[in-house]
Structure 1
């Protein structure tokens, strides 16, 4: 057992960081973003070793989008200074949870489909990925879902439920068992996250009504 832990310590550490990241995401805590950068760094190495090249590239994207999301969550929670406030006094709020619009959903679908096609083509043509189409599917949806997270859109959880469930099967196939455990928790906690964010979204309107 100890030998197995020593041999897989990088993947185990990445999995534990990933669960902690998801917990902060459910709690809408801004610390999820620096933790996401650290988790992604671990998984760039893990997926390169496993030849999941699209997932490796996805984690490079995660690093970039985490910087954007961190900035947006910080900036998005700032109200414009009101006339009653002094020049140096600014009210700060948490960035509220929002819902996706039909127009935005169609736009994201229109972006995700060609991204999937391009990634699948690259994987089939230039890599030895054992599951290029499924790898491309989860990668394309993850790109979209992470952008939605950066914008704090409720429905990002629904996309993650699908991505995590499919990824769970892929990692069982590849034998990445610590990551299998991680994505089992990801799938369950994505469901929890959706209902938690939905509750907070509904509370926003309750407070507005008061």
Structure 2
């Protein structure tokens, strides 16, 4: 069983192994903070995504690298939005809410633009050599919208994370990155819990 799960790490760089473990660990910590609606989701997430940008560049996984580069940028944006306060009571400017019709349309547009952009990049680098590349374009679109919704504190972000995470579990294992696959497995479990927590928070404010 151990060989089945980790045999792909035979001959793997020790540095890359530890960087993957550290990146996955900080990614999990970040999602746990997100579950609690805690702004520390962003600094911990930035550490994870920056490490993954480097690793994915080394692994030549262009789509995944773009996702994490975008995560890093959106994390700074989300950090700024979540830290804004107003009034004498220092109330949060950006509470948890549901998407409106305009935001649904914007989300669809972001998904389509992202998917088309990744398709163009994959064609340029001749990466459409297996079914994995086609799945990558789909999950990239999902995660781009999910991160945008999280920055805006929209509860629907967790639905997209759940979909993308479930797809990513076997995808990363197939690519040979077991620790990252495990990370997405735990992400999926946490995302279900987080959706319930955010929904409870939203219901209590209505």
Deviation at 1:28?
Answer: 0.8
Q: Match for residue 84 of structure 1?
A: none
Listed as ranges, the matches of 1:92-171 within 5 Å are 92-94=90-92, 95-128=94-127, 130=130, 131-171=132-172
Distance 1:152 1:127 in 2: 37
The alignment covers a number of residue pairs equal to 193
Are residue 62 (structure 1) and residue 63 (structure 2) matched?
no
Q: Match for residue 28 of structure 1?
A: 37
Q: Which one is further off, 35-44 or 98-107?
A: 98-107
Are residue 40 (structure 1) and residue 49 (structure 2) matched?
yes
Deviation at 1:27?
Answer: 0.7
Distance 1:62 1:111 in 2: 14
Gaps of 5+ in 2: 3-8
Distance 2:72 2:114 in 1: 18
Task: Name the SS for the 2:91 alignment partner.
Answer: coil
Q: Match for residue 183 of structure 1?
A: 184
Q: Match for residue 10 of structure 1?
A: 19
- Bigger Rg, structure 1 or 2: 1
Q: Which one is further off, 133-142 or 22-31?
A: 133-142
Distance 1:199 1:175 in 2: 38
Gaps of 5+ in 1: 82-89, 206-210
Distance 1:165 1:63 in 2: 22
8 Å contact from structure 2 (residues 110, 144) kept in 1: no
8 Å contact from structure 1 (residues 124, 132) kept in 2: no
Distance 2:155 2:176 in 1: 32
8 Å contact from structure 1 (residues 65, 146) kept in 2: yes
8 Å contact from structure 2 (residues 114, 144) kept in 1: no
8 Å contact from structure 1 (residues 161, 190) kept in 2: yes
Distance 1:154 1:45 in 2: 30
Distance 2:126 2:63 in 1: 10
Q: TM-score, normalised by structure 1?
A: 0.85
8 Å contact from structure 2 (residues 142, 164) kept in 1: yes
Deviation at 1:141?
Answer: 1.4
Q: Match for residue 58 of structure 2?
A: 49
Deviation at 1:117?
Answer: 1.8
8 Å contact from structure 2 (residues 35, 198) kept in 1: yes
